[in-house]
Amino acid sequence: MAAQAQQSRYHANHVQTTDRVPSEQPLPEVLYIMGTGRSGTTILEILLANNPGFAGVGEVKHIFRDGFIADHVCSCGKPTSGCELWSEVLRRTAWSRQDCARLGDTVQDLESHQHFPLIWANLGAKQAREQYSLAARDLFRSVAAVRQCRVVVDSSKFAGRALLLSQALPERIKVLCITRSAAGLLKAFAKKNEGEQRPKGALAASAYYLYVLLCMRLVKWRLKERCFSIRFEDLNSNPDAVLAAVESWGGYSLGVARARIAASEAFDVGHIVTGNRLRKKGKVNFEPSTSALRRKADNVLAEILAPILETYRRVLGF
Ligand SMILES: [Zn+2]
């Protein structure tokens, strides 16, 4: 009976019937990192999550599919089911396998790039959105309770997720938007043999760049001062200045990360199930570098497209 009741929490008709999960616990602040693929979202999360009061969760939009269903290995080296964070989150939320499959589908569908215009216009899928919001609150509450943190850093990247989370966690969400130069992104997407990160051709990468930057601009417009933009090139060349700017925007204290960068000390990756493959290293070093500023295109088409896209980026205010 209990299992049935719990399961029904995520059925459309019984969204608010039981309150077993940590709904009496305070919601943490969620610092959401929005960006294109290959634009430093995972490393930015790691820098932020290494400060007291913060915890990172990687591209947590995939936790249902990659973690709770497929049991992928977490960056701590254990499968999700044996990870001290994610096994405890699953225990606290009491999500059944069926709940996880359904929530994974809901998240995938609502946050997809093609769904963005509907989310922006606040149209349709009312029941799915209610389930989404309930699950998002349970997930972040549980993470905060297990990690004893005030701020959860989520680097899921998708623009639609920023809007959906701002509805699910009003007043508790801040969004960091990171963009990368078109030349750098085209080059990064051209790289083969990246395993889980599939390459894109210059035209496909350009279309992606045009669309995602436009979506992110719309999010910024909607969320106003709750959304702050940074550039991948600035983060690489002068991380201290970027973190200082994030501190004054968000009211955070990021002194530990800033000191660690200055001393060339390693950062803990934490418990990331889905994200850039650097998560698998367990510890990462962040060395400031200006190489991202000197990125040259590696084919003629990319060479033609990159400056046009870069102008577009500037026009959008990134
Ligand atoms: Zn773990």
pLDDT higher than 70, residue 139: yes
Helix axes 159-168, 202-223, angle to 10 degrees: 30
Q: 275 CA distance to ligand 1 centroid (A)? A: 13
Which residues fall within 8 angstroms of residue 294, CB to CB, at 6 or more apart? none
Nearest to 123 by CA among 136, 108, 107, 110: 110
| CB neighbourhood size of 49 (10 A) | 26
The answer to whether 32 and 154 are in contact (CB under 8 A) is yes
Ligand 1 centre to CA of 76 (Å) is: 4
Question: What is the sign, positive or negative, of the torsion defined by CA atoms of 234, 235, 237, 241?
Answer: positive
Q: How far is the CA of 300 from the centre of ligand 1 (A)?
A: 43
Of 7-16, 42-51, 65-74, 142-151, the poorest mean pLDDT is in 7-16
Question: Cα(68) to centroid of ligand 1, in Å?
Answer: 12
Ligand 1 centroid vs 84 CA: distance in angstroms? 6
Name the pLDDT band for 223 (thresholds 50, 70, 90). Answer: very high
> Mean pLDDT lowest for which of 109-123, 144-158, 193-207?
193-207
Q: What is the pLDDT of residue 12?
A: 45
pLDDT for residue 143 is more than 80: yes
Rounded to 10°, the helix 255-262/239-250 angle is: 180
CA triplet 152, 248, 34: central angle to 5 degrees? 45
- d(CA 294, ligand 1 centre) in Å: 36
Domains assigned to the chain: 2-315 (3.40.50)
Q: Which helix (H) or strand (E) holds 316?
A: none
Q: What is the pTM of this model?
A: 0.91
What pLDDT is stored for residue 195 in this prediction? Answer: 58
pLDDT band at 194 (very low <50, low <70, confident <90, very high): low
Highest mean pLDDT of the ranges 6-15, 119-128, 162-171: 162-171
pLDDT at 19: 42
Phi-psi category of residue 77: left, alpha or beta, with phi > 0 → left and psi -120 to 50 → alpha: left
pLDDT for the residue 10: 58
Percent of the chain past pLDDT 70, that is, above it, reads 89
Q: Which two tokens stand for residue 114?
A: 């093609």
Query: For a pLDDT cut of 90, what percent of the chain falls above it?
Result: 75
Could you tell me which of 86, 243, 62 has the C-alpha nearest to residue 154?
A: 62
Q: Report yes or no: 156 and 110 within 8 Å, Cβ to Cβ.
A: no
How many angstroms does the Cα of residue 162 sit away from the middle of ligand 1? 24
Q: State the pLDDT at residue 212.
A: 97
The helix/strand/coil state of 290 is coil
Please state the separation of Cα 215 from the chain's center in Å: 15
Look up residue 14 and give its two tokens.
Answer: 């019984």
Q: What is the mean pLDDT of residues 236-248?
A: 97
In this structure, how many other beta carbons lie within 10 angstroms of the beta carbon of residue 190? 16
Pairwise CA distance, residues 16 & 214, whole Å: 35
